[in-house]
Amino acid sequence: MNKRLMKIVLIGVTVVFLAGCFNITQHISKDGDKLNVFIKFSVSKSIFEMSKSMGGKSDENPCEEIYTFNEKQIIETFPKSFKADCKKVDTELECGYEMYLTIDTNSKDYKKMKKDDAPAFIPFIDKKEIYIAFPHDDEEEEEDQMAAGFMSSAVYKLTLNRNVVEKVKSISFLNADETFDVSFVELSDIYIIEVPLAYWISSSSDCSLVIKY
């Protein structure tokens, strides 16, 4: 996926609302040679109520502020062989985007993909590890520092189906300055992994989640 577009969506939402109520949820499973990937970026509507109580805007639909891109624009950033669908989320509790992708691991687009240029949040899988890229935009360093201060409770939550990998050995999150060991919960059918988004937003370079198996 276009790295700058993904980062603008994520950081833009956070800076607009100045709160740690922003989260990323991802699920990865496999069906034969096809990877099924679900990604959701959401912000809690409770922050809008907080803003109103402090004299902020009282728009009928304040979520429109985060809908910077339409669904077609987002889908077009993926390789054509990736079957992608995107929709806006607007419920009583949250708003944001949901994306559904089906990726044929035998396709030319996936086979020619390398770890260093993997699209954001698209799992790159080799014989020893799963690599998920978290891009950084040097032009937004000032916004990154501002956003990081409001993201102490924001998390990236990944559920990984065991039909993708049977046994996880270790998980690490790497940014420009250090490597963080990431704990995980092992269940009968999935692994549950959570990473504080502050690890990513405060970094001065691209980051990655590395799952060794």
* Domain carrying residue 134: 3-212
Q: What is the mean pLDDT of the chain?
A: 81
Could you read off the pLDDT of 102-153 as tens digits, one per residue?
999 999 999 999 888 888 899 999 999 999 998 876 555 555 455 555 556 6
The pTM (predicted TM-score) of the whole model is: 0.82
Per-residue pLDDT reduced to its tens digit, 3-24: 555 555 555 544 444 444 678 9
What integer is the mean pLDDT of 183-203?
A: 92
Q: What is the pLDDT of residue 46?
A: 73
> What is the 3-class SS of the chain, one letter each residue?
CCHHHHHHHHHHHHHHHCCCCEEEEEEEEEECCEEEEEEEEEEECHHHHHHHHCCCCCCCCHHHHHCCCCHHHHHCCCCCCCEEEEEEEECCCEEEEEEEEEEECCCHHHHCCCHHHCCECCCEECCCEEEEEECCCHHHHHHHHHHHCCCCCCEEEEEEECCCCCCCCEEEEECCCCEEECCEEECCCEEEEEEECHHHHCCCCCEEEEEEC
The yes-or-no verdict on residue 29 having pLDDT over 90 is yes
**How confident is the model over 143-165, as pLDDT tens digits?**
545 555 555 668 899 999 999 99
Task: Count how many domains the chain has.
Answer: 1
pLDDT tier at 169 (50, 70, 90 boundaries)? very high
pLDDT at residue 139, as a whole number: 56
Q: Which pLDDT score is estimated for 51?
A: 55
